[in-house]
Amino acid sequence: MRVLHVTRDLPPRVNGGISVAVGAVVGAQLAAGLEVLVLSFDAWRPRGGPRAAPLPETAGVARARAPEDLPAALARARAFLPDVVHVHDAALAAMVCELTAPRVLTLHVDHEAQRRLRNADAPSRGELAQRAAMEAAAAVIVPSAATGRDGAHVVPFGVELPAERAHGDDLLYVGRFADVKGTAELFEAARRIDAPIVVAGGLPDSPRAERRWRARAPANVRFDGWLDRDALAARYRRAAVLIAPSWTETFGLAVAEAMSFGVPVVAAAAGALVERVEHERSGLLVSPRDPIALAAAVERLRADPALRAQLTRAARCRRQRWSWAAHEAATRAVYHAALARRAPRPPR
């Protein structure tokens, strides 16, 4: 089977969990023997913006860093003759509409849920694109039941399983800065926590917005910036608690990664985080958008080494539920279902 993936970014360029997930999906499919080509827009946005710095050419990747790159990238995609086109950003679906293979869409971001949480009335451009892409798709994949849509296939993401467990004392946050990521609640909780908090993340594609967020942080927040995968793994190993204050998540990749290292998690009981963390068993859940409760839960873990040890053991056991090999097998089954729906019916 030949699969064309269409994505904003692909490692080594990592601007968030979507990049990590797409890279892992592609790796698992190659390991399973599928033929894969990736059409990566490498931080270029179809509505314009600066041309991204070039990356080394990689076999199996067609890069479109600016409008003038698109014809050659699409020609390569057509010549690949994909059996399935797997789109990872709904806004890019129109860019490959000329390809006739069945289209599968993964919802990495739930624009509708974010709009509701922001109390916005009008759908965003991203939400409108997502609606259109879902209607045109032969199949839709969501990474959690919390992100469920009628007829969508729930296929959880995976995590790599590190041999080494965490053994540090750091309080850690991993991720982007945004209202729906709970960044304001994180900074407010930090004011109530008598310890440094390490922040690994930011807004690598929007330095000005990142500076605005950083200016709101109290003095005990230390910024590491956006880390590559090896540096982030080292951060997980030095962590005692991961703080996950998001208003919603479609999967919660940072939470699952931290748990794979045995890091106890304090998370908001929101979206897919309630599917990752079992309260009082593998972590602590608190009310969303409640910095007082968030800080209290973190201080509780800091003051109770026995509870941290208990949650660490449970987190390491729970990580077995999320495997990229299992994700690949389930995704391949979705591809076959999409192809079967497109196959001509035999004559009667």
The stretches of 203-290 forming alpha helices (DSSP H) are: 207-214, 229-237, 253-260, 273-276
Q: How far apart are CA 24 and CA 7, in angstroms?
A: 13
Q: What confidence tier does 15 reach under pLDDT thresholds 50, 70, 90?
A: confident
Tell me what the mean pLDDT of segment 231-239 comes to.
96
In this structure, the answer to whether residues 122 and 246 fall within a common structural domain is no
Q: Is residue 347 part of a domain?
A: no
Instruction: Please give the pLDDT value at position 167.
Output: 87
In this structure, of 60-74, 89-103, 228-242, the range with the lowest mean pLDDT score is 60-74
SS3 300: helix
Q: How far apart are CA 98 and CA 80, in angstroms?
A: 14
In this structure, the answer to whether residues 120 and 186 fall within a common structural domain is no
In this structure, the answer to whether residues 47 and 68 fall within a common structural domain is yes
In this structure, the answer to whether residues 121 and 192 fall within a common structural domain is no
| Amino acid identity, position 295 | A
Q: What confidence tier does 345 reach under pLDDT thresholds 50, 70, 90?
A: very low
In this structure, the answer to whether residues 232 and 286 fall within a common structural domain is yes
Q: Is residue 163 part of a domain?
A: no
The CATH number that applies at residue 292 is: 3.40.50.2000
Instruction: Please give the pLDDT value at position 210.
Output: 96
Is the predicted pLDDT of residue 129 greater than 90, yes or no?
Answer: yes
The pTM (predicted TM-score) of the whole model is 0.91
Tell me what the mean pLDDT of segment 105-112 comes to.
96
> Are the C-beta atoms of 88 and 106 separated by less than 8 Å?
yes
Q: Residue 109: CA atoms inside 13 Å, Cβ hemisphere, count?
A: 23
Q: What range does the domain containing 11 cover?
A: 2-158+323-342
Instruction: Report the domain count for the chain.
Output: 2
Q: How far apart are CA 21 and CA 88, in angstroms?
A: 10
Cα of first residue to Cα of last residue in the chain, in angstroms, is: 29
Q: What confidence tier does 308 reach under pLDDT thresholds 50, 70, 90?
A: very high
pLDDT in tens, 16-41: 888 899 999 999 999 999 999 999 98
pLDDT in tens, 172-212: 999 999 999 999 999 999 999 999 999 999 998 889 999 99
In this structure, the answer to whether residues 101 and 232 fall within a common structural domain is no
| Amino acid identity, position 130 | Q
Q: Is residue 78 part of a domain?
A: yes
Kindly give, in sequence order, each residue whose CB lies less than 8 Å from that of residue 31, ignoring residues fewer than 6 positions away.
325, 328
The stretches of the chain forming alpha helices (DSSP H) are: 17-31, 70-80, 111-117, 125-136, 183-190, 207-214, 229-237, 253-260, 273-276, 291-303, 305-318, 324-342
Q: Is residue 212 part of a domain?
A: yes
In this structure, the answer to whether residues 10 and 135 fall within a common structural domain is yes
Average pLDDT of the residues of the chain: 91
Tell me what the mean pLDDT of segment 295-321 comes to.
92
Instruction: Please give the pLDDT value at position 78.
Output: 94
- The dihedral through the CA atoms of 287, 292, 298, 299 has a sign that is negative
In this structure, the answer to whether residues 276 and 229 fall within a common structural domain is yes
Share of residues in the chain with pLDDT > 70 (%): 93
In this structure, the answer to whether residues 261 and 290 fall within a common structural domain is yes
In this structure, the answer to whether residues 253 and 336 fall within a common structural domain is no
Q: Is residue 108 part of a domain?
A: yes
Is the predicted pLDDT of residue 54 greater than 60, yes or no?
Answer: no
3-state secondary structure 102-141: CEEEECCCCHHHHHHHCCCCCCCHHHHHHHHHHHHCCEEE
Looking at the chain, how many residues does it have? Answer: 348
pLDDT in tens, 241-252: 999 999 999 999
In this structure, the answer to whether residues 16 and 133 fall within a common structural domain is yes
Greater model confidence, 317 or 235 = 235
